Chains A and B, each alone.
Chain A
Amino acid sequence: MTTPAIETIGLTKQYGGLASSVALRGRSRSSGVRALEDLAIDVRQGEIFGFLGPNGAGKSTAIRLLLGFLHPTAGRASVLGFDTVHDSVEIRRRVGYLPGGIAFWDNLTGERLLDELAGLSGRPPVRRSALLDRLELSAATLRRPVRDYSRGMRQKLGIIQALQHDPELAILDEPSEGLDPLMQRAFYGILDELRREGRTIFFSSHVLSEVERVCDRVAIIRLGRLVALEEVPALLARRKRNVEIRLGGPPPALAGVPGVSEVETGDGRLSCRLEGDVGPFLAAIAGSVIHDMTIEPARLEEAFLEFYETDLDAAPPAAAPPSPAKVPA
């Protein structure tokens, strides 16, 4: 069995309180802000793992715990088999990190900055030239001071500094922020290439379409709690698709057809929601006169919103999320 790239067990982070000491005294009351609670995930080597949640959900806190910037209040985590509290230097030797809203030493040129960061990493920048080509950062651009760079160019520089030394694991916080659509596509290509070469990517985002496009598995986090962790295709397969049919005759009888719900008819139209296998639905409409039919594909956004639209108080803690999510995978 291979070591997980990332493994967290009951990882909890509370800011500004005395949770530990209060707990030791056997009191239930705790002060401070609980940014992360009982996070239990495992990221497999060689996969692209999406970490989804809106701003303030706890994504950056989790990443900072993994890199040893923060100390857990409870639980533990390991990255590439190294403990995040005791071996954070070893972890950072093997990891490339792109912080959200990255800041640089602006007086340096792009080239000097990349050189200095590679020097600090202690590993040669073996991927730099390929990344520069893919992200279209020219030599002339690199000779300019970073303070003159646009937001998109800074983000490209951030991606390059995180990946130039060919890390075993890349932890990317909102990596496509500020990139134009063409560059986003180039970036996704880079991720695909890294995956083919067996590198692991841990990828936090609130852009659902990109997570859906590039990730193998996704964890959804809400108010510091994990609410879902699943393969992206499996998550999508369970999402309800919207069906719209323009009819040329009487509507088909869809009551009781497996996977079909919310059927509405009238004015020569039929709409419904379709979940799972489409076979029974197609069989049910086979005899009907249909002028047009649209089945809207399942989107991760709907899955995401489903987890966010329910009342938080009704949601169980992260360690025991509601079906259909399975935690940990």
Chain B
Amino acid sequence: MNLALLRHTWRANRLRVGIVTVALAIWGALMPIVFDAFGSQVAEMFESGAFPSQLSQFGGGDLFSLTGAVGIGFVHPIAVGLMLVFAVGFATTAVAGERQRGTLEVLLARPISRRVVYGTLALAGASFVAIAIAGLTFGAWAGATFTGRTAELGVSNLPLLWLNGVLLYCALGAVGLLASVSFDRLSPAISVTLAFVLVSYFLDILGSMWPDAKGLQPFSLFHYVDPKTVLSGFADRGDFVLLAVATAVAVVASLAIFPRRDLAAPS
């Protein structure tokens, strides 16, 4: 790791990290508040058959309990979209974007090995994810506290929920960085990463709402994030291990590819 590069990366992204974290905290706080205000009405609507029951299982969450509502908040497209600022945005621009702009040239002219450059960028990305997920988790706690439902949340399990989210987005970010070190231009790096994330997300959501597609869920990284179960105190350790292994595989592949790549002059 290179401290000067870490500082530079942090300075360049601190505003983005701040905005996304605050947005996620607000979003996280909204879910308990929405549940508190409309949970019983929504439950009645589903029980009346006005909506297909599968819709109540969106992403493994539900609207019939606080933990279920927080779970929906974690896997909702708004939260996922905000987190993709780092998992796709930062990760893909970190190398391919800098290379396309020509600024990677200036960085690599310094006495820093490519492995150290990668390691520092990966660490910076992981710290952004950790802070942003902390914002989301904090928001959920703040919302529950605001509505006086803290006891229903399983506060002692919040750190585990944070870890589960961090591992998911670190895995996605590692895939983004792998694409970033593999391409000379930004657009293919973004396209490949975004395709991976969207397909992964689609498989999980489809499996959660359509029993016949349940078999597809294990192929999605999102399947290994289960906020409701984690908050209920029944976290599956295997989910955490699998996300960590996925991250490690992408990191090892990046460390094998990046130092061996030819970096021709930017066109």
User: Could you say which of A15, A70, A100, A122 contacts B111, with CB atoms under 8 Å apart?
Assistant: A122
Q: What number of residue pairs across chains A and B have CB atoms under 8 A from each other? A: 75
- We find that the number of chain B residues with CB closer than 8 angstroms to chain A is 24
Task: Enumerate chain B residues within 8 angstroms of A95, measured Cβ to Cβ.
Answer: 109
> Known contacts A70-B264, A120-B2; is A103 also within 8 Å of B110 by CB?
no
- Give the docked Cα–Cα distance between A104 and B110 (Å): 14
Flag whether B151 is at the interface (Cβ < 8 A): no
Cα–Cα, bound, A116→B8 (Å): 7
B103 interface residue, CB < 8 Å from A?
yes
| Chain A CB within 10 A, most for which of B101, B103, B264 | B264
Set of chain B residues within 8 Å of A315, measured between Cβ atoms: none
State which of A15, A89, A107 has its C-beta within 8 Å of the C-beta of B264: A15
On whether the beta carbons of B2 and A102 are closer than 8 Å, the reply is no
CB pair B105 A120 closer than 8 Å: no
Q: Are B106 and A103 in contact (CB under 8 A)?
A: yes
A93 within 8 A of B: yes
Of A107, A119, A161, which is within 8 A of B4 by CB?
A119
Report if A101 contacts B (CB, 8 A).
Answer: yes
B116 to chain A, nearest CB (A): 9
Q: Are B106 and A102 in contact (CB under 8 A)?
A: yes
Known: A15-B262, A70-B264. A116 touches B4 (CB 8 A): yes
* Chain B contacts for A120, CB-based, 8 A: 2, 4-5, 8, 107, 110, 112
B110 touches A92 (CB 8 A): yes
Nearest residue, chain B, Cβ from A60: B265
CA A61 – CA B265 in complex, angstroms? Answer: 8
Contact of B101 among A15, A60, A90, A103 (CB under 8 A): A103
Of B8, B101, B106, B260, which is in contact with the most chain A CB atoms at under 10 Å from its CB?
B106
At the interface, yes or no: A99 with Cβ under 8 Å from chain B? yes
Determine if B111 and A93 form an interchain contact, defined as CB atoms under 8 angstroms apart.
Answer: yes
Q: Which A residues lie within 8 Å of B105 (CB)?
A: 69, 99, 102-103
Tell me the residues in window 73-119 of chain B with beta carbons closer than 8 Å to chain A beta carbons. 101-103, 105-113
Q: Would you give 24 A-B contacts (Cβ < 8 Å), ordered by A? A: A15-B264, A61-B264, A69-B105, A70-B263, A70-B264, A71-B262, A89-B111, A92-B111, A93-B111, A99-B102, A99-B105, A99-B106, A103-B102, A103-B266, A117-B106, A117-B110, A119-B7, A119-B8, A120-B4, A120-B5, A120-B107, A120-B110, A122-B4, A122-B110
Q: Which 10 residue pairs are nearest across A and B when measured between Cβ atoms?
A: A103-B102, A93-B111, A119-B4, A97-B109, A120-B110, A69-B263, A92-B111, A99-B105, A70-B262, A120-B4
